[in-house]
Amino acid sequence: MIDIRLVREDPAGVKRALGRRGVSPDLVDRLGDFDSASRLATGQRDELRARVKEISRQVALARRKGDEHGAEALAAESRQLGVAGSVLDAEVDRAQSEVRDLLLALPNIPSEDAPDGTGPQDNVVIRRWPEGQRVYEPFQRVPHWTIGEELGILDLERGARLSGSMFPLFRGMGSRLLRALSAFALDSHADAFEEIRPPTLVRSETMVATGHLPKFSDEAYHVERDDLWAIPTAEVPLTSLHRGEILAEEDLPVRLTASTACFRREAGAAGRDTRGLLRVHEFDKVEILALATPEQAPGLHAEMLARAEKLLKDLGLEYRVVDLCTGDLGASSARTFDLEAYAPGCDQWLEVSSVSWFSDYQARRASIRYRPSSGGSPVLVHTLNGSALAWARIWAALVEVGRRPDGSVALPEVLGPYLGGSTLIQPRPAAG
């Protein structure tokens, strides 16, 4: 969440910053009004409590002097103040609840470097690889759902039979390819990132810490009986690994990576890019995440983006880097770069990674701080994370790009060690 002190000290600046994201200034005014009401009621309550404490001292003194009449009068006043105090307690709780709800609802203040815009049409392509336009053969212009069915490596019909539409089922080399991609990515990050295997189900406060709740509750899978949520990304448990802790500055940055299944309802996506693996409810992904000082954050953001780009280059996929405009940023993000890989069979650029810097927005929700080595009060960390990479669409792009004239699929050589040495998926033998 944003710092309430900014709203108190520079409400006009907060309105301008959040206005770049399309947030109404009325919300900032409401937040300021409730914050003022909360502080006023808290001050009145504290004064009243101090008065009650003083009266208790006077009651004790009157009784020691044998002044029972005076003591009883003071006690009656104390009881009246207690009733008034209960009313003030309720006012404080109500105002503080409104302040917290508004803070949880407001998005992060965008980076000054994020381009202005209202939606995806205003995002900025800052580079692509390779620089020249690739030429794809007609046999590569076959969509992955057709290739997967022909080769027996993707069974969407049985996946839907088991769990419903948009739950894919991979078979044989299709399944092994997913496993190989995760192992390849984890090994690529092992030089600098500690591998974690977090739980797949998390508590509500864990989802709140990253900003996925309350805003995106309709997009998530909730196990109501246990009040647990299926993670939409490993960012959720990894961010909360140090929730409520104070770290030492010399231990920063903390670098973590994880391979997990991810679950998203994709509410409202019906009929929109739902064929094949373009939009699914469950997919595997390798995440990289860092906790850092504000000074370390820019360099880490660039490094994490470079790592995701290197994986795409190693896999031989054409891609572009997109700088998200303020109107398309995720609610928690201050700056995000998306990586989009080109899939010739679908003839689409597919988002396969988002690499984001969240400033101290998530850390404030999760109460993750560090103690400066120079001394002084603890400071909120900055959080960063990136997909490196999400596999459903990578899988789709690889089988389309790698398709050969005979219908087989040649996979990147870097995956050979993870595929038992064979990087070729052969067509199934003809029946009979």
Verify whether residue 264 is a known catalytic residue: yes
Q: Can you say whether the dihedral through the CA atoms of 111, 116, 122, 124 is positive or negative? A: negative
Give ∠ CA 369-336-229 in degrees, rounded to 5: 65
Q: Catalytic residue among 176, 264, 364, 403, which? A: 264
Q: State both tokens at 361.
A: 């927005």
Type of residue numbered 224: E
Q: Is 47 a catalytic residue?
A: no
C-alpha span between 277 and 390 (Å, rounded):
11
Helices (H), 106-169: 144-151, 156-163
- Omega into 405 within 30° of 0, i.e. cis? no
Tokens standing for residue 72: 């009883």
Please confirm, yes or no, whether 225 is among the known catalytic residues. Answer: no
Catalytic residue among 20, 279, 364, 365: 279
Catalytic residue chosen out of the listed positions 21, 255, 335, 393:
393
Number of H helices and E strands in the chain, helices first, is 12, 16
| Catalytically annotated residue among 354, 356, 359, 387 | 354
User: Residue 203 catalytic?
Assistant: no
| Strand extents, DSSP E, 7-123 | none
Active-site annotation holds for 335: no
282-304 as b/e, with b when 16 or more CB fall inside 10 Å? bbbbbbbbbbbbeebbbebbebb
**Tokens 């795409």 sit on residue:** 312
Q: Which candidate in 91, 150, 282, 351 is catalytic?
A: 351
Compute how many other C-beta atoms are within 10 angstroms of the C-beta atom of residue 146: 15
- Tally the residues of the chain: 432
| Catalytic annotation, residues | 264, 279, 351, 354, 393
